[in-house]
A and B are shown apart, each in its own frame.
Chain A
Amino acid sequence: MSTELDVFVGNTTVLDEDVYQLWLDGHTVSNAVRIRMEAGALQECEANAEVLHSDTMDQFRTFQMCERLLQSPSKVANQLLFQIPPHRQTMLIERYYEFDSVFAREVLGKKLSKGTKKDLDDISSKTGIALKCCRRQFDNFKHVFKVVEELKGPLVENIQRHFLLSDVLARDYAAIVFFANSRFETGKRKLQYLSFQDFAFCAGQLISYWTVGAVNNVMEDLDVDLEKEFLHDLKDLKVLVNDKDMLDQHKSLVCAQLRGKIKVFSEMEASFKNLSRALVNIASKLTHTKDFRDLFIDLVEKFIEPRRSDKWTIGDLRLFLKHYSSSVHTLEAFRHQVIWDRYMGVIKSCILKMYHD
């Protein structure tokens, strides 16, 4: 004796958000039933295990049927198969595209290719996220990447328009696309302490200030690519460390501002040249793809780690960076103020974001 077939179809598609989450998390039906029972679902409506199993099966099947649509969310609103109220549609889409930042951190900067997909079981065992769930998240990354890759115009808006995601989620996806496109090195051991959110923030900064779309609104290419001209111009900043006068002048200006205000003043004063050189060198190397990919590792190795070993507090660092970048304005011989600001604005916020344990 067995139930051979068991379906329930509502004119308005019945969706249980809790079960949806279980499905998204990649649980099997029996697992999900167990979790629901533990959560006290049996107390509701005098249900029994059988009822719960039937309901879970049914919901899982519904989600599976919806999945095809969710992969191109714009279809969800004008498909005819499922009658779903708009706010539920939004919920379905948003949840489907949500991802675990632990997982995203692992994939960040990797090529979204089949090769990486094969490594998902490693990531799954490392993060404790079900493989099925990893696959969905990875496929989502890949899918979003593929779609926006060919589109012109602002990245975040493109993602929002095509995937109907919330602003926050769209920005996260933009970061993932940006990293996948630029292939920044993020996997090094020294970078392990950085979370996805750290990188996402940095990506946001880079996208906002350094990309093609950031300066002119002419939508001619994917604005994920950094502005070549700007990167080239960054070489001109070398003058700040190469020109001895300028370096000294810069140093004295910064010291004058910071004297007594930061605890590590003496260390700062002693190593000003190194500090400045580290930052300027990173800038001048960005034209080379290889060095560009190492942006974050460079920032950490050349700047953040030394400061950390010198026990700079975040407040000291913030003050230093503020005056370090602003005092350049008073250097009369320096003619690359605009480039400098554009560079330092981003670097400053990235460093501050990344400066933690």
Chain B
Amino acid sequence: MPGKLKAKIVAGRHLPIMDRASDLTDAFVEVKFGNTTFKTDVYPKSLNPQWNSEWFKFEVDDEDLQDEPLQITVLDHDTYSANDAIGKVYIDIDPLLCSEAATVISGWLPIYDTIHGIRGEINVLVKVDLFNDLNRFRQSSCGVKFFCTTSIPRCYRAVMVHGFVEELVVNEDPEYQWIDRIRTPRASNEARQRLIFLMSGELQRKIGLKVLEMGGNAVVGYLQCFDLEGESGLVVRAIGTACTLEKISSTLPATATHPSNSSPSKDMKEPGFGEEAPGVPLSSGPPTPLRAQTFSSFSPSKSYSRQSSSSDTELSLTPKTVGIFLFPSTPTLESESSPLPSAHLPRHLWPGMASRSTTPPPLRLSKSDTAILRKSVSFSEELLLAASGMGSGGSAGKEAGPLKALLRQQTQSALEQREYPFFPLTAFPPGFLLHVGGVVSARSVKLLDRIHNPALGNTRSYKLLDWNSFTADEPETRDAWWEEIRQEIKSHAKALGCQAVVGYSESTSICEEVCILSASGTAAILSSRFMQDGPLDTEHRLSRQPLCVFSTGSERVEGDMGSSASLGFEEVVSPGCGFCHIPYDELNIPFPAQLTYCYCCRRYKVPDVLFTTIDLPTEANVTGKGCLIQARLCRTKKKAQGEGNATVISNLLPFLEYELHTQLMNKLKLRGMNALFGLRIQISIGETMLLGLASATGVYLTALPSPGGIQIAGKTPSDITYEQHISNMQKKINDTIAKNKELYEINPPEVVEEIIGSPIPEPRQRSRLFRSQSESSDEVSELDLSHGKKDAFVLEIDDTDAVEDIHALLTDFPTPAGFYSCNTEIMPGIQNWTSAIQMFTSVRVFRLNASLTSQGLNKIFSDLCENLLKSLYFKLRSMVPCCLCHLNFTVAIPEDELIQVAVTAVAMSFDKEQLLENGKQSGEKTLIKAITENDEQLQFNLELNAETPSPNPLSSPKGLSEVGSHLSARALSVDYSSFADRCSSWIEQLKLKAHTIRRGSVKTTSSMEKASPLPEGRSRSLRSNRSYSGSSVAVVKMTPLSFIPGAKIIKYLGIINMFFIRETTSLREEGGVSGFLHTFIAEVFAMVRAHVAALGGNAVVSYSMKECVFMENPNKNQAQCLINVSGDAVIFVRESELESTSVQTQSATTHTSNGAEGT
């Protein structure tokens, strides 16, 4: 079915002088889409031409609309010679294809030339008339929304989460075609830019098709990457989570929420919870039954699913759940045989996985299911009662029937498709994530072979070929590679007793013909609640309410269900700790970990350390602040070719990972913290070295035991000076730990021994608790004394590695006063953001001298990162107090002896006064936030497995969601599963080396009840003062986060995905490499901003620079750079502008809520 694309060229400005004689330009414009080209008249002798053209109309397939960009070329007319190109503008018209996104593209867009950069601007108008294609066999997927944001976008609710979607597209790289030898660099660059535009368009369309097949309407967490494989071609691949999203309407009557006060929610003890309701009707707390009603008023079909909370829905779902747990019990180890005999697949499971004997006992599951089901029935009755009180409850019941059937269908089909239960999402609605198992990762070293290239020597157009017509089996090969890795990940997750992987991402590193494919994620158990369609949120809500002291705790037989409890089927006891509870079988731990009873609820086991790739759940109880923790490693390797090289690399990888891991662990302990979030490990290969960079945000989770110190042990105790040396070091370390604890405000509250109803801890456990309590009076100073050698994390100093480690530990500079840093979205303990944000990109390239030892390299690399951070702090000192959020480091080895580090992050100021206050009540703050988030995202369903929700026993009167998930990462034990046979003995050694100590201290949750929304209110008033007046160019904010502090996102305009190449043959004249790259990055920012503004937006969220490939040849005075950026274009409004009478009530929701005010 065709669509009609219309474009109008209005004017140009700031054009470059093309005619030296007159110092003017005779400009005209070519507008091209597909194979059709239109031209404007020549506007003679002007640098600010006014073309005011007619509407150029293109009648095209919607398939083309998705694949092709609109290409606008500005040229200088020349009577005697060929017309000179001034530059081009590529316009991605995808946002216009979705009814909910932008409707018109209109504005000044920079005219870009790959050699000269931006050369003036052009004002264009673009519209699309689309006739919807209902053909079942269509190849287009117009209307599917794409989001880079790795959480449910702020003004949407997820009706259903369908699962993982992935796709990849392959082509040859124009840069490596024969024709490149005879064409100009400009032509070559433009061919490449255009090709990548086409490929990502095609990729997006194909992913869209998959989403439609699954019954979804959107992709969240869309992550698209390029692999520039050089000679062997160009791969564009993407992953995402298919969802059915529903826009939160603004038409909701605020009154609907009022009756909520009469609902059970009244009894809830969360402060400020009830008050929120009027301001943000939809996202407001308790009145769930009501909400279902409200929905039905405007979207009947959706409300069905919502209303279907009747008990039998659950029943119908139950069998499915069991199915999930029985997950196509895959052969745990897929064949190691890769296309290449030499390719190795070292795969690593971070938290360790010594035994693969996982125990997913479906029988027990179903048992627990039924038990819980009973409960859910009981409260859905409650619910109905409440609903009918509202007047329209009756209808809900009646309509449930047909809907259910529909639901079942959907769920089933989606389940079948869920080959991989992966979710690239990093933040979840409360209640979605039950338990977290730990980080799972897999890597595979592959040899790239020459891409099949039948067209070599032919001039082939870059129009993408369908896979079928692509004679090579190239895509299949790449697909198979990823398939292997994903299988590996899946089996790792299973070994951890988890059925899903969240925070999932994939990446590659390529050097010559060797390629490392990596995937990592966090094994987790997700709530079934979100898999059923409608009823969930209502139930969810009820279960959060104190009313729900239908006390399941007593119903459940502890003994009988012992293991099922540890498998994650107990309901979450306390919202802030549930996700920490281990998901695996305690008696059959997949790796050696020290388990203790949760320090929050005292009911369930938690590991001593947690590593995850997701963001910190908003409801998590955190003590103090977090900080960025990085492990950096540089290892030399021999130069080698082909298979030999691949072998060398795959042999090195496990050691690299192990060392990174040890470093992370040491640094974590040095900061007195016990959990890592947002863990991202990047391994880059160069010809003579391997770089490893692991970044994460360390926090102190209240639910987890306090980490022990680090003890240094020498092996030759006889020598006195040596002893002295050791004790000096020990002292230094202890001092640092103490200092860090102060810096990050880690003062775990005293242990509260008496928790009524909590199971009595084992004796061993208990004694530990007692000990810690006795120490708590003088915690810091006693730190070193308190841990016996047995429990302590021992570093043996004879080991040269250990010496190095210690040095590395102590050379990390603390962040300067007023600064915090993290690589996650938000920093625990800071909520009072002002509206001052500064997104930035910083790139450094460091040249190494030849012949450095690994150790020397290590130090250089580490210093490089530290110095970069220092520079950032210095640069941003005017924003103090501020936090660098989402610090995203990317390392690369562009050529031998060069290390490139690129950082993109956002600095956000916060209000200091409230920081102090916050420090005191950080716990409460987090809670408030969690509450609001709850409200906003309760509408999040996942058809995953049925694990029926059940009410909380005693300790959940906080009314928080029972989000739970067991994080677990006994990180020190590393399992290289696919290596197991080869290095089992080695692994044993490693494990022996690792010890952990835990010091007990528990933060009670009682303080939460004190929270008040007041501070938020104050901070908001501050925020509103800070917006500055506009200039003639609209201000466009950019941030790698999914939100803008102090503002509400009211509309998503579509995805921004841009790829640029810049090349120069006059490097010195452009200010050298730094000048060249500085200009280019500024130009990329400018183009992103202009395109967002043209879509009608005023910000880009979830912005990321996914590729920055820089190559230089100073001798030839040349350089080239490729940059790929992406993000979501949005419209936001300042909260101050939104405020109505309900100022106070709304305050607690601040930036996290996505309330009902819509466009």
A: which residues have CB within 8 A of B?
1-14, 44-48, 50-52, 54-55, 57-58, 61-62, 64-65, 75, 77-83, 85-87, 89
Q: Which 8 A-B pairs have the closest CB atoms?
A: A5-B845, A10-B840, A11-B839, A9-B1081, A4-B845, A7-B1078, A8-B842, A11-B1038
Contacts A5-B844, A78-B1033, A87-B1028 given; does A10 touch B1075 at CB 8 Å:
no
Across-interface contacts of A79 in B (CB, < 8 A): 14, 1033
Q: How far is the CA of A10 from the CA of B1039 in the complex (A)?
A: 11
Residues 838-863 of B at the A interface (beta carbon under 8 Å): 838-849, 860
Question: What are 11 of the A-B contact pairs (CB < 8 Å)?
Answer: A1-B847, A2-B847, A5-B843, A11-B1038, A14-B840, A46-B873, A51-B867, A78-B13, A78-B1033, A80-B108, A85-B1031
A32 to chain B, nearest CB (A): 15
Closest chain B residue, CB of each to CB of A54: B871
Query: Would you call B1074 an interface residue if the criterion is a C-beta within 8 Å of the partner chain's C-beta atoms?
Result: yes
Q: How far is the CA of A75 from the CA of B813 in the complex (A)?
A: 43
Q: Are B1073 and A4 in contact (CB under 8 A)?
A: yes
Q: Are A4 and B847 in contact (CB under 8 A)?
A: yes
A46 to chain B, nearest CB (A): 5
Can you name 19 extra interface pairs (CB under 8 A) apart from A9-B1082, A77-B1033, A86-B1030? Answer: A3-B845, A4-B1073, A5-B1074, A7-B1077, A8-B842, A9-B1078, A11-B1089, A14-B876, A44-B877, A47-B874, A61-B1071, A64-B1071, A64-B1075, A65-B1078, A65-B1082, A75-B14, A78-B108, A85-B1028, A89-B1031
A78 to chain B, nearest CB (A): 5
Interface 0/1 of B1067-1099, CB less than 8 Å to A = 000010111011101110110011000000000
Query: Would you call B210 an interface residue if the criterion is a C-beta within 8 Å of the partner chain's C-beta atoms?
Result: no
A253 to chain B, nearest CB (A): 59
Closest chain B residue, CB of each to CB of A16: B878
Q: Are A80 and B1089 in contact (CB under 8 A)?
A: yes
B902 to chain A, nearest CB (A): 10
Q: Are B870 and A51 in contact (CB under 8 A)?
A: yes
Q: Are B1074 and A57 in contact (CB under 8 A)?
A: yes
Q: Are A9 and B1085 in contact (CB under 8 A)?
A: yes
Across-interface contacts of A48 in B (CB, < 8 A): 870
Across-interface contacts of B1085 in A (CB, < 8 A): 9, 11, 83
Q: Are B875 and A6 in contact (CB under 8 A)?
A: no
Q: Are A77 and B842 in contact (CB under 8 A)?
A: no
Q: How far is the CA of A197 from the CA of B543 in the complex (A)?
A: 80
Across-interface contacts of A12 in B (CB, < 8 A): 838
Contacts A2-B847, A83-B1036 given; does A61 touch B1086 at CB 8 Å:
no
Q: Are B838 and A10 in contact (CB under 8 A)?
A: yes
Q: Are A5 and B1077 in contact (CB under 8 A)?
A: yes
Across-interface contacts of B789 in A (CB, < 8 A): none
Closest chain A residue, CB of each to CB of B1087: A80
Interface 0/1 of B500-544, CB less than 8 Å to A = 000000000000000000000000000000000000000000000
Q: How far is the CA of A2 from the CA of B1030 in the complex (A)?
A: 42
Q: Are B871 and A8 in contact (CB under 8 A)?
A: yes
Q: Are B1078 and A45 in contact (CB under 8 A)?
A: no
Across-interface contacts of B845 in A (CB, < 8 A): 3-6
Residues 819-842 of B at the A interface (beta carbon under 8 Å): 819, 838-842
Q: How far is the CA of A39 from the CA of B847 in the complex (A)?
A: 31
Across-interface contacts of A82 in B (CB, < 8 A): 1082, 1086
A244 to chain B, nearest CB (A): 62
Closest chain B residue, CB of each to CB of A88: B1028
Query: Would you call B1035 an interface residue if the criterion is a C-beta within 8 Å of the partner chain's C-beta atoms?
Result: yes
Q: Are A80 and B1033 in contact (CB under 8 A)?
A: yes
Query: Would you call B364 an interface residue if the criterion is a C-beta within 8 Å of the partner chain's C-beta atoms?
Result: no
Q: Are B1033 and A61 in contact (CB under 8 A)?
A: no
Across-interface contacts of B1031 in A (CB, < 8 A): 77-78, 85-86, 89
Q: How far is the CA of A51 from the CA of B13 in the complex (A)?
A: 39
Q: Are B842 and A7 in contact (CB under 8 A)?
A: yes
Across-interface contacts of A87 in B (CB, < 8 A): 1028
B1 to chain A, nearest CB (A): 36
Q: How far is the CA of A40 from the CA of B1030 in the complex (A)?
A: 35
Q: How far is the CA of A31 from the CA of B156 in the complex (A)?
A: 55
Q: For B1086, give its contact among A1, A46, A47, A80 (CB under 8 Å).
A: A80
Q: Are B1083 and A81 in contact (CB under 8 A)?
A: yes
Closest chain A residue, CB of each to CB of B848: A1
Q: Are B1082 and A81 in contact (CB under 8 A)?
A: yes
Across-interface contacts of B108 in A (CB, < 8 A): 78, 80
Across-interface contacts of A46 in B (CB, < 8 A): 813, 816, 870, 873
B1050 to chain A, nearest CB (A): 21
Across-interface contacts of B1071 in A (CB, < 8 A): 61, 64
Which one of A2, A7, A55 has the greatest number of beta carbons of chain B within 10 Å? Answer: A7
Q: Are B875 and A8 in contact (CB under 8 A)?
A: yes
Q: How far is the CA of A338 from the CA of B852 in the complex (A)?
A: 89
Across-interface contacts of B649 in A (CB, < 8 A): none
Closest chain B residue, CB of each to CB of A6: B844
Across-interface contacts of A13 in B (CB, < 8 A): 1082
Contacts A5-B1077, A79-B1033 given; does A55 touch B875 at CB 8 Å:
yes
Query: Would you call B186 an interface residue if the criterion is a C-beta within 8 Å of the partner chain's C-beta atoms?
Result: no
Contacts A2-B847, A4-B898, A10-B839 given; does A81 touch B1036 at CB 8 Å:
no
Q: Are B1029 and A80 in contact (CB under 8 A)?
A: no
Across-interface contacts of B816 in A (CB, < 8 A): 45-46
Interface 0/1 of B96-120, CB less than 8 Å to A = 0000000000001010000000100
Interface 0/1 of B1100-1116, CB less than 8 Å to A = 00000000001000000
Closest chain B residue, CB of each to CB of A87: B1028
Interface 0/1 of B1045-1079, CB less than 8 Å to A = 00000000000000000000000000101110111
Contacts A11-B1038, A81-B118 given; does A6 touch B1086 at CB 8 Å:
no
A310 to chain B, nearest CB (A): 58
Q: For A86, give its contact among B13, B849, B1029 (CB under 8 Å).
A: B1029
Q: Are B867 and A50 in contact (CB under 8 A)?
A: yes
Q: For A80, give its contact among B838, B849, B1090 (CB under 8 Å).
A: B1090
Closest chain A residue, CB of each to CB of B110: A80
B553 to chain A, nearest CB (A): 51
Interface 0/1 of B921-964, CB less than 8 Å to A = 00000000000000000000000000000000000000000000
Across-interface contacts of A61 in B (CB, < 8 A): 1071, 1074-1075, 1078
Across-interface contacts of B1089 in A (CB, < 8 A): 11, 80, 83
Q: Are B1079 and A65 in contact (CB under 8 A)?
A: yes
Q: How far is the CA of A45 from the CA of B907 in the complex (A)?
A: 15
Query: Would you call B121 an interface residue if the criterion is a C-beta within 8 Å of the partner chain's C-beta atoms?
Result: yes
Across-interface contacts of B872 in A (CB, < 8 A): 8
Query: Would you call B637 an interface residue if the criterion is a C-beta within 8 Å of the partner chain's C-beta atoms?
Result: no
Q: How far is the CA of A27 from the CA of B692 in the complex (A)?
A: 40
B388 to chain A, nearest CB (A): 53
Q: How far is the CA of A62 from the CA of B1079 in the complex (A)?
A: 9
Residues 869-905 of B at the A interface (beta carbon under 8 Å): 870-877, 880, 898, 900
